[in-house]
């Protein structure tokens, strides 16, 4: 579900929690905790105050006063909800000194971790696509020898891009998902950077894409799904040329593209 624009929207909707204190934490699914002991993790969080809530790619990093971090990842179906009723797939409930935050995740691909130091898995992420310069992006891209769709999904290359926005950016840039990165001309690599930034910025402004179950912490859906030009539009006409949008697999992931507008 959540890629950079969705996670950004969630983080913005969590802004009221900054400065709040975690009175109690309760965990119901050990899988989400990645093997950590639920009781011990709850004990480490109880009484801690939230200093900041920031996004790194698709990760949500909550800094705790006095040191340490609560790290959240929504996986495919994760939701963070404020003041909602616990449900079948509610795996964590954080009771705050004002309000209640819960973590729901039907597929349980999400994660909740507590770290003493800045988490290594966040530190090894690539740059934010909205922060890296076009020149640096193009240079790094052309140094690699893989297909461009797979590289956009590689979180150590740029962080936060997932299947929706990779397909949408490649369409806007006129680049075929199987194009080899090492052979992309400089101007096309620069254009990909520009289109990636454009689509991410538009999606953030629209509150993300709600395909099936994504909502922000206040339960609001995103609007950007109506602006998708290729993602999950197989068989429908290309908005530019009318050719039927096609689907193919790149590294086991569906890729949607216009066979006429997007060149290798």
Partner DNA sequence: ATCGGTACCTGCACGC
Partner DNA sequence: TGCGTGCAGGTACCGA
* Alpha-carbon span 211 to 226, nearest angstrom: 10
* Alpha-carbon span 103 to 62, nearest angstrom: 14
Three-state DSSP class for residue 12: helix
What are the C-alpha distances in Å from 53 to residues 48, 49, 225?
Answer: 14, 11, 26
Q: Which helix (H) or strand (E) holds 94?
A: strand 90-96
Residue 264 near residue 177 (C-beta atoms within 8 A): no
* Span from 17-25, 39-47, 143-151, 199-207 in contact with DNA (CB under 7 A): 143-151
Active centre residues (catalytic): 2-3, 58, 253
**Counting contacts by CB under 7 A, is residue 253 touching DNA?**
yes
**Counting contacts by CB under 7 A, is residue 1 touching DNA?**
yes
Tell me which residues in 95-134 interact with DNA (CB under 7 A): 106-109, 121
What are the C-alpha distances in Å from 152 to residues 77, 126, 155, 165?
Answer: 21, 11, 8, 9
Tell me which residues in 149-208 interact with DNA (CB under 7 A): 150, 153, 155, 161-164
- Show the binding pattern over residues 46-85: x = contacts DNA (CB under 7 A), - = does not: -----------xx--------------x-xxx--------
**Counting contacts by CB under 7 A, is residue 209 touching DNA?**
yes
**Counting contacts by CB under 7 A, is residue 264 touching DNA?**
no
Among 85, 88, 123, 235, binds DNA (CB under 7 A): 88
* Alpha-carbon span 257 to 245, nearest angstrom: 6
Residue numbers at the binding site for DNA (CB under 7 A): 1-3, 31, 57-58, 73, 75-77, 88-89, 106-109, 121, 144-147, 150, 153, 155, 161-164, 209-214, 225, 232, 251-254
């Amino acid at each position: 579900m959540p890629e950079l624009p969705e996670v950004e929207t969630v983080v913005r909707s969590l802004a009221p929690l900054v400065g709040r204190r975690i009175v109690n934490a309760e965990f119901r699914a050990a899988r989400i905790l990645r093997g950590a002991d639920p009781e011990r993790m709850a004990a480490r969080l109880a009484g801690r105050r939230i200093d900041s809530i920031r996004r790194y790619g698709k990760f949500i990093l909550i800094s705790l006063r006095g040191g340490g971090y609560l790290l959240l990842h929504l996986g495919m179906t994760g939701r963070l909800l404020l003041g909602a009723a616990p449900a079948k797939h509610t795996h964590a409930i954080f009771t705050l000194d004002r309000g209640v935050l819960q973590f729901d995740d039907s597929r349980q691909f999400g994660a909740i971790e507590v770290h003493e130091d800045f988490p290594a898995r966040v530190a090894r992420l690539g740059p934010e696509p909205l922060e890296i310069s076009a020149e640096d992006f193009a240079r790094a891209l052309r140094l690699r020898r893989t297909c461009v769709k797979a590289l956009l999904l590689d979180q150590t290359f740029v962080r936060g891009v997932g299947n929706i926005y990779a397909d949408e950016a490649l369409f806007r840039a006129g680049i075929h998902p199987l194009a080899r990165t090492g052979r992309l001309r400089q101007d096309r690599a620069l254009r990909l950077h520009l289109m990636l930034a454009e689509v991410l910025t538009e999606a953030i402004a629209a509150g993300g894409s709600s395909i099936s179950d994504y909502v922000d912490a206040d339960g609001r859906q995103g609007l950007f799904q109506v602006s998708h030009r290729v993602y999950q539009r197989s068989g429908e006409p290309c908005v530019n040329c009318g050719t039927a949008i096609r689907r193919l697999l790149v590294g086991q992931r569906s890729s949607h593209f216009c066979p006429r507008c997007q060149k290798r």
